[in-house]
A and B are shown apart, each in its own frame.
Chain A
Amino acid sequence: MKFLTVSDDINFLRQVNTLVSGKGDIDSVLIGEGDAKGLGSHVLYKAKRETPFDAVSEGILKIAGNYDYIVIGSTEIGREIAGYLSFKTGFYAATEVFFLDFSGQKTHTKRFFFGGKTVIEEESDARIITVAPGVIEAKDLGSTPEARDLEVGQSRIKITKFVSKAGGSVRLEDAKVIVSVGRGIGSKDNIAKIEPLAKALNGEIAGSRPVCMDYGWLSEDRQVGLSGKKVSPKVYIALGISGQIQHIAGMRNSKTVIAINKDKNAPIFQECDYGIVGDIFTVVPKILEQLKQ
């Protein structure tokens, strides 16, 4: 089997390659820059990061005939490309999968449904697949690809500016401890108040979608949930997170879940091992103090 994997993020591309590795040969498309050492693909087709999704899609269509499956990381541009390709090729797209296998002509997938309340397992004739972020730890696959330019198509979309966001890249997938903040943290400045806890536990800071997307208190690559990272740390500490199902879908595989919320009816208390009904700003300092004893 031959796979074409696609992403605009080199780390995500590594995850996608890790997911399909061992199932067949891989070529890849990368939109933007990144170090491809150990990516595991034979050829890496590159497109400039300011290439609109439709121009990238047209470029992929020119080579798509060489592949059995196109597997795309689910980022914004990744989903746009998948939809475009699905229309142009007529192939069904299996979306947001966290499990992927092939048996005969069938594509076997698992993904969340009903906003994360259930897991749906399907068999389909999908030839296009989008992979949810953070579902697998990226491995070094040994070989480094030969780089080529992707022959992109035309677009009537004009990209005028990139605006960078706070934070840098973070590997939540690998973190042993995650301290995750929700809207209850109140402000960007307040994040500094819980940082010592993350430090003391050697953990990473993550957040719910409003914190990462809406308010931008944290960068988006720290978002945990249905449309964010899927994490599985030893300890997940939820601070001021209500526990909506779309958030739970991202942290369900954590070993131990600790929640602090001032509302005793918050749904997070149904999904935690240890819960404290209280205020973040009084509880966290006390935990920290006793941890140091």
Chain B
Amino acid sequence: MVNVVVLIKQIIDIDQMKTDSEGKPILTGIPYRLENLSKNAIEAAVRIKEKNGGKVTGIIFGTEAGTSAMKESYAMGVDEGILITGYKGSNPQVTAKAILTYLKQIQFDMVILGDQSADSYTGMLPGLISAGLGIPLLGNANNIAIDGKTVRITQVGEAENVEMEAEMPVVVSVTQEINEPRLPPVLQIMAAGRKPIRTEKFDGSFNNVNVISNLAPKSERKRKVFEKVDEGIAEVVKVLKEEVR
């Protein structure tokens, strides 16, 4: 039996987000969704449960809107969830504090989270959570193997991959490539809607960061797109000859 806690972030659907003429993000009406790597983390946790038995607990630090993300997580195989409300923006220190408060009340063998989240991608949570719990971190794993109390992973590094291991309890952060997150069947999503969610409050305000601006960079591309391949080739060759001499 391996009990796993998975850290789940909910984000706005950045693919649907547009910016206005000044480059300001238009956030009204944009739906929320599960953050990409959180999905990989859920999938990894559920696969561990399916293989070894045990329980998967999900923790979200977000807002009231997080109930839909928790339901989706339930449908993917998460057994119990804690939704901590009070999230007021990306600040990894605050997020870690909120999560650690409740994580420390749970019995677990492993905490799984994404290596870098898709919207803010600070990559700070794995180190913060590991230091906060005082247990080893096996980071950026593209596979997880459990052998008794030992957890082995392959860490995807920049220049080389590194095989490493540690005894449970451990924190494991995962890559986007570790698995293909499942799409839960409709029946499971409906059943998940009836499962209770434990909701807690955390004051997630902070004043040590002042946002000066948050704007889309201007794109002044020519966008000359050729569907007639030969015309395109002629133009591209001309450009290349001018640019690369």
A interface residues with partner B (beta carbon < 8 Å): 9, 52-54, 57, 74-77, 79-88, 90, 92-93, 95-96, 113-115, 117-125, 130, 133, 155-165, 169, 176-177, 201-203, 209-210, 213-214, 219-221, 226-227, 234-235, 245-246, 252, 255-258, 264, 269-278, 282-283, 286-287, 290-291
Please tell me if the beta carbons of B162 and A163 are within 8 angstroms of each other in the complex.
Answer: yes
- Docked CA distance A59–B152 (Å): 25
Asked if B239 lies at the interface with its beta carbon under 8 angstroms from chain A, I say yes
Please tell me if the beta carbons of B158 and A75 are within 8 angstroms of each other in the complex.
Answer: yes
Please tell me if the beta carbons of B156 and A95 are within 8 angstroms of each other in the complex.
Answer: no
Nearest-neighbour CB distance to chain B for A281, whole angstroms, equals 12
Question: A-facing mask of B34-51, CB < 8 A → 1, else 0?
Answer: 000000000000000000
Nearest-neighbour CB distance to chain B for A222, whole angstroms, equals 11
Nearest neighbor of B24 in chain A, beta-carbon distance: A118
* With known contacts A82-B124, A84-B127, A87-B132, A158–B166 Cβ distance under 8 A: yes
Nearest-neighbour CB distance to chain B for A88, whole angstroms, equals 6
- Docked CA distance A36–B9 (Å): 40
Asked if B196 lies at the interface with its beta carbon under 8 angstroms from chain A, I say no
* With known contacts A118-B19, A234-B244, A282–B210 Cβ distance under 8 A: no
One of B60-68, B103-111, B183-191, B229-237 at the interface: B229-237
Chain B residues near A119: list those with CB within 8 A.
213-217
Chain A residues near B130: list those with CB within 8 A.
54, 80, 83-84
Q: Which of A75, A163, A226 contacts B161 (CB 8 A)?
A: A163
Please tell me if the beta carbons of A257 and B14 are within 8 angstroms of each other in the complex.
Answer: no
- Docked CA distance A273–B235 (Å): 11
Nearest-neighbour CB distance to chain A for B53, whole angstroms, equals 25
Q: Which of B157, B177, B214, B221 contacts A118 (CB 8 A)?
A: B214
Please tell me if the beta carbons of B124 and A79 are within 8 angstroms of each other in the complex.
Answer: yes
Nearest neighbor of B226 in chain A, beta-carbon distance: A276
Asked if B101 lies at the interface with its beta carbon under 8 angstroms from chain A, I say no
Please tell me if the beta carbons of B226 and A235 are within 8 angstroms of each other in the complex.
Answer: no
Please tell me if the beta carbons of A274 and B119 are within 8 angstroms of each other in the complex.
Answer: no
Chain B residues near A274: list those with CB within 8 A.
222, 224-226, 232, 235-236, 239
* With known contacts A86-B92, A277-B229, A290-B234, A156–B166 Cβ distance under 8 A: yes
- Docked CA distance A165–B214 (Å): 37
Chain B residues near A278: list those with CB within 8 A.
229, 232
18 A-B interface contacts by CB (under 8 A):
A76-B115, A83-B125, A84-B130, A113-B119, A115-B121, A117-B19, A156-B167, A157-B138, A159-B163, A160-B165, A210-B177, A255-B243, A258-B239, A264-B225, A270-B219, A272-B222, A278-B229, A290-B233
- Docked CA distance A152–B157 (Å): 21
Please tell me if the beta carbons of B14 and A245 are within 8 angstroms of each other in the complex.
Answer: yes
Q: A54-B136, A235-B239 are in contact. List 4 more A-B contacts (CB 8 A).
A: A95-B121, A119-B217, A160-B164, A274-B239
- Among B12, B25, B244, the most chain A Cβ lie within 10 Å of the Cβ of B244
Asked if B126 lies at the interface with its beta carbon under 8 angstroms from chain A, I say yes
Question: A-facing mask of B79-103, CB < 8 A → 1, else 0?
Answer: 0000000000011110010000000
Chain A residues near B215: list those with CB within 8 A.
118-119
Nearest-neighbour CB distance to chain B for A16, whole angstroms, equals 14
Please tell me if the beta carbons of A83 and B229 are within 8 angstroms of each other in the complex.
Answer: no
Can you list the 7 inter-chain pairs with the closest CB atoms, starting with the nearest?
A83-B127, A276-B232, A275-B225, A87-B131, A79-B123, A161-B163, A273-B222
Nearest neighbor of B156 in chain A, beta-carbon distance: A213
Nearest-neighbour CB distance to chain B for A164, whole angstroms, equals 5
Chain A residues near B124: list those with CB within 8 A.
79, 82-83, 86, 93, 95
Chain B residues near A160: list those with CB within 8 A.
152, 163-165
Nearest neighbor of B207 in chain A, beta-carbon distance: A125
Chain B residues near A277: list those with CB within 8 A.
225-227, 229, 232
Please tell me if the beta carbons of B240 and A235 are within 8 angstroms of each other in the complex.
Answer: yes
Nearest-neighbour CB distance to chain B for A206, whole angstroms, equals 14
Chain A residues near B177: list those with CB within 8 A.
210, 213-214
Nearest-neighbour CB distance to chain B for A287, whole angstroms, equals 6
* With known contacts A114-B25, A117-B17, A119-B215, A86–B221 Cβ distance under 8 A: no
Please tell me if the beta carbons of A80 and B25 are within 8 angstroms of each other in the complex.
Answer: no
Please tell me if the beta carbons of A165 and B212 are within 8 angstroms of each other in the complex.
Answer: no
Asked if B31 lies at the interface with its beta carbon under 8 angstroms from chain A, I say no
Nearest-neighbour CB distance to chain B for A243, whole angstroms, equals 11
Please tell me if the beta carbons of A79 and B158 are within 8 angstroms of each other in the complex.
Answer: no
Nearest neighbor of A167 in chain B, beta-carbon distance: B159
Please tell me if the beta carbons of A272 and B225 are within 8 angstroms of each other in the complex.
Answer: yes
